[in-house]
A and B are shown apart, each in its own frame.
Chain A
Amino acid sequence: MPKEEEPRIGVYICHCGINIAATVDVEEVAKYAEKLPNVVVAKHYVYVCSSPGQSMIKDDIEEHKLNRVIVASCSPTMHEPTFRKVVAEAGLNPYLFEMANIREQCSWVHPKEPQKATEKAKDLIKMAVAKSRLLERLQVKEAGVTLRALIIGAGISGMRSALDLADRGFEVHLIEKAPSIGGRMAQLDELYPTSEYALDVLKPIMDAVTSHPKIKLFTNSELEALDGFIGNFKAKIRVKPRYVTNECNACGKCETVCPIEVSNDFDFGLSKRKAVYLPFTVAMPRTYVIDYENCNKCGKCIEVCERGAIDLKEKPMKMEVDVGTIIVATGHDLYEPPKGEYGYKVYDNIITMPQLERLLDENGPTQGQLQFKGSTPKSVVFISCVGSRQEPGIYQPIEKDQQLNRYCSRVCCTATFQNVLSIKKKYPDTRIYYLYRDIRSFGKGHEEYYRKASESGVLFLKYKPEVPPVVSSDQKGLLVTVEDILTNNETIAIPADLVVLNVGMIPRNDASDIQTKLRISRGADGFFQEAHAKLRPLETPLDGIYLAGTTQGPKDITESTIMGSAAAAKAAIPLARGKVEVEPTVASVNEDICKGCGRCEEVCEYGAIKVEETGPFDRVPMLVAKVTEAQCKGCGSCSVVCPNGAITMRHFTKEQIKAMVRAATGG
């Protein structure tokens, strides 16, 4: 619209049935509105959003040559899109529509003061008129979408996301930091509540991921940097050298001759592996990997490899991929008790539950025999909530500055029952004690599992967090002392051959690195934060980036699988549409005023504004802030901190807001 064109405003006051009209004198308000500057027509109607109400607006735009429309009714969340559409259908730019909320902000909150509510409604409309006169036309832009998703992490949730998106028909790049896909689930023995062997369940999924024509898999790979916005991300990926090429047929001769032995992380230190190794029995890809740091470069592996697959000179590879959407499925780490917590690393025969899983695994270091340091325990004590439910005030961090993990890790109780049943199946005479705080077997079929474990003869002892069990040692072995609530706080001493600490899940040690690269936020618990605790559990505040699995908080396999599929559903939406709409109500920089100080960049939570070099002017490069509109949420933080007033929020310009304030204050 040319600037000189005089605003011609139509104001429509809605009764909302009786919701507004029972409190606010709508007729009086309409008469008042008619006299406001530039208002050409003001009407009240029982339901402006109804189809006759909408027609009334359209007819008036035509008849009265209106170029601005105001509806005074409910919250814009409710009907702003409706009315923007109405004015657009009548040929007006939808951003020339303005709304005054005289329901939620007026009639609903002041039902007992109709006179004052009527006056307030007038003020709200006066303010809307003041803003409306200064409204500008804005255009919704569209951006294309790269029809490919990036998934970071190939554990159970990342693999699920990848398979679902690929089955839906989209190309997927799946990157995994470790040399094999499979994640934490590969380290488990049997799964609750079906007692299936984890690898039997996992292997078909790993095979499907490896063979899917739409999935490009990069193991031993990390995200190095990310740029761009929804639909148009650029991801830099670093593929670490494996030092073993695709020629490898996993014959294992290299491993036999390798002279180096190091602690095996896959077995949580319960076994040794060579410097050239296959991460686990069914690792995918089935290609060996050399642990370069520990390798002494003796060259024996090269000598025995018939296929010439070993290449100690392999260099890291870098690549850049365009992707439309991203799923973060980087998983969790396990709590490592500090030395001395329940005697851990002070006394022998104290292990964590993940270590127990490795001992019970047929493919583990003891071929499934419950043997630790050469003997089979006759008495096993499980202690719950180690590194979980740490209450401040009660729980003292053993090391200073150690973060308390206040949350429950969700899986440990039922996982204990699984392990109890496994031990009882193999060694029926084992005495098993479970020292717990609350039994949290809440999942489907878990309560039944709890009963099965109880019936197998495990003894339950409930401790208070204020009086945790104490693990000590004498000549005979370990002694676990507990004040048991279930026997009226009797102190019970249990001789134990093996103590199992049910360690919880913690955020991964690379979480802050991922956080920086993706600019997504983390909660007080250190896990990645979803956009809304109840209704947006998969989204991050950044459009186009979604969360799956334990990266968002502790979860079991079922829940991680659900979240994997669910994140895929979110990631599929922009890919299926093939375009994203870019809201025009965002920040805009006046480059003539901007000094490039960068304060806006510091406060922007969405990475939408960046100081860039421009010019040069007089051969000196100039710095100015630039907005990536598709990333901007229009929150206004940058505009507030800009010391030079160089940033305007479109549709909420300073002039528009000042005009509203003046109208409200009568100034």
Chain B
Amino acid sequence: MSEMQGVLVIGGGIAGMQASLDLADQGFTVYLVERNPSIGGRMAQLDKTFPTLDCASCIMTPKMVDVGRHPNIKMLIYSEITKISRAGKKFKVKVLRKPRYVDETKCIGCGICAQHCPIEIPNEFDEGLGLRKAVYVPFPQAVPLIYTIDKDNCIECGLCEKVCGAEAVDPNQEPEEVELEVGAIIVATGYNLFDSRKKEEYGYGIYDNVITGLELERLLSASGPTGGHVLRPSDGKIPKKVAFLQCVGSRDEKVGNQYCSRVCCMYATKEAELVKEHVPGTETTIFYMDIRAFGKGYEEFYIRAEKEFGIKYVKGRVAEILEDTASKNLLIRAENIESGELIEEEVDMVILCAGLVPALTDEMRKILPLPIDDYGFITTAHPKIDPVSTSLKGVFTAGVAEGPKDIPDTVAQASAAAMKASIVAKG
């Protein structure tokens, strides 16, 4: 057998992490490229996970640490791919390491710089609900635990440089280009949430108390912007009545997304349960089209939510939401398909269970011409029997980049992609 080749993994979410670990454990050198300052991806933003209600960061942090200290995983974090070309059976890859303006080899992640930084801006990790400094780590368990200066918002006051005991701040850091040679590539670029503004009738971005499911995750999280209290953005009060709307941007031809996002029924059920757990007595209603509790233990979870937690399920699509300008309460207009009645219900807060849309960018597809479907998800070689290979030889995909899926399905697909990549890269 000739020499084992390296493998490039694009995306450091749970799919990219799992694929990296499985390859690295076999002995392959893995280059894990992530454009954000930390690995962890979307899963790191979640509070608890269905159907076991395991806290997401509790089960994920050890995995992130495993990735961070694996001798065979070379992490290229806060980096972007700029070029991929074929060289025989191998790929030549150029990666741009964006300047953090903090020396990775010196920063010990103590956080003193952030303490002194005078700039506060909305934190992307908290979906903009909390604040972070201009020098920051996205979340406390970040891997690598290295601070990054956000030059767009930095006023160059120099305080961080002065207080850093490790002398790690380097305002003159330049981007660095790294060249790699690999035998296989795994694309695990994940997803963004559907932009709920496109469903104008629901008032997201217009009404204060209409938020997305991911925003609610941050509110539910003990390490989130409200310390784990579900509070209305308009007045900071605890909502007594909360409504969840399913299929926002999914199963909706009007917005061009016919597909089901697979996770929303379950995350809404979980979030409704958690809202009730935080404040017993909260009324929660889920407006749905079909309840799709198909995974292992999911149906049982859904039935328990309805029967034991008293979460109300109403079959019907919400037609529109109106805001009471004084109270900022929301009036929901919907049809209850089961009873045939028209519903007008006033609630304190509305959660839009926005679907998943691919995060794969056009720029990335210019670098690597991956075939995609009508929605932008990566098309695989055969939908039944070759569900991780792409039509580009040596290039595989895993996770939501290929199509919406939950965490166990993502983890399994990541391992599958790792297997396929190992066959190609074994030399």
Contacts and interface: CB of A to CB of B under 8 A. Distances in A.
Contacts of B115: 18
25 contacts: A15-B110, A18-B110, A46-B110, A52-B108, A78-B62, A78-B65, A406-B300, A407-B296, A407-B298, A408-B299, A444-B373, A444-B402, A485-B338, A533-B54, A533-B296, A537-B408, A558-B385, A558-B387, A561-B384, A565-B417, A570-B415, A572-B419, A573-B26, A576-B25, A577-B27
Contact of B296 (A82, A553, A557): A553
A15 B409 CA distance: 39
Given A537-B412, A569-B419, 8 more contacts: A168-B423, A193-B383, A196-B384, A407-B298, A533-B408, A561-B416, A565-B419, A573-B22
A438 interface: yes
Contacts of A534: 49, 52, 54, 59, 407-408, 411
Interface size class on chain B is 35 or more
Which residue, of A410, A489, A569, has the highest number of chain B Cβ atoms within 10 A?
A569
Contacts of B325: none
Nearest to B60: A535
B422 A201 contact: no
Interface string A472-504: 000000000000011011000000000000000
Given A168-B422, A562-B416, A572 B407 contact: no
Contacts of B259: 444-445, 447-448
B326 interface: no
A46 B62 contact: no
Contacts of B338: 485, 489
B54 A408 contact: no
Contacts of A169: 1, 426
A194 B259 CA distance: 16
A77 B412 contact: no
Contacts of B415: 538, 565-567, 569-570
B324 to A, nearest CB: 31
Contact of B69 (A82, A168, A451, A552): A82
The 3 A-B residue pairs with the shortest CB-CB distance in the complex, in nearest-first order = A566-B415, A565-B416, A17-B110
A292 interface: no
B74 interface: no
A316 interface: no
Which residue, of B69, B296, B411, B420, has the highest number of chain A Cβ atoms within 10 A?
B296
Nearest to B110: A17
Interface string A202-228: 000100000000000000000000000
Interface of B: 1, 14, 18, 22, 25-27, 49, 51-52, 54, 59-63, 65, 69, 108-112, 115, 140, 165-166, 251, 258-260, 262, 290-300, 303, 315, 337-340, 373, 377, 383-388, 402-403, 407-409, 411-420, 422-423, 426
B334 to A, nearest CB: 15
A193 B387 CA distance: 13
B300 A488 contact: no
Contact of B112 (A17, A532, A552): A17
A577 B385 contact: no
A389 interface: yes
A150 B198 CA distance: 52
B374 to A, nearest CB: 9
B22 A406 contact: no
Interface in A559-600: 559, 561-570, 572-573, 576-577
B412 A566 contact: yes
A77 B51 contact: no
Nearest to A18: B111
A566 B399 CA distance: 13
B426 A446 contact: no
A442 interface: yes
A563 B383 contact: no
Interface in A285-307: none
Interface in A438-470: 438-448, 451
B294 A410 contact: yes
A81 interface: yes
A565 B415 CA distance: 7
A543 interface: no
B108 A440 contact: no
A565 B294 contact: no
Interface string A388-432: 010100000000000000111010000000000000000000000
A246 interface: no
B422 A438 contact: no
Given A408-B294, A408-B298, A569-B422, A537 B411 contact: yes
Given A191-B384, A533-B52, A557-B385, A442 B407 contact: no
A447 B247 CA distance: 13
B45 to A, nearest CB: 15
A538 B409 CA distance: 10
Given A194-B383, A444-B377, A561-B387, A566 B407 contact: no
A300 B156 CA distance: 96
B296 A164 contact: no
Contact of A569 (B251, B291, B296, B416): B416
Nearest to A487: B340
Contact of A565 (B63, B293, B388): B388
A167 interface: yes
Contact of A406 (B25, B112, B140, B299): B299
A606 interface: no
B26 A439 contact: no
Contact of A447 (B65, B251, B408, B412): B251
A525 interface: yes
B27 A576 contact: yes
B412 A562 contact: yes
A50 interface: yes
Contacts of B407: 534-535
Nearest to A446: B260
B162 to A, nearest CB: 17
Contacts of A406: 299-300, 303
A205 B385 contact: yes
A440 B420 contact: no
Given A47-B109, A576-B26, A438 B412 contact: no
Contacts of B416: 561-566, 569
A524 B299 CA distance: 13
A2 interface: no
Contacts of B290: 438-440
Contacts of B112: 17-18
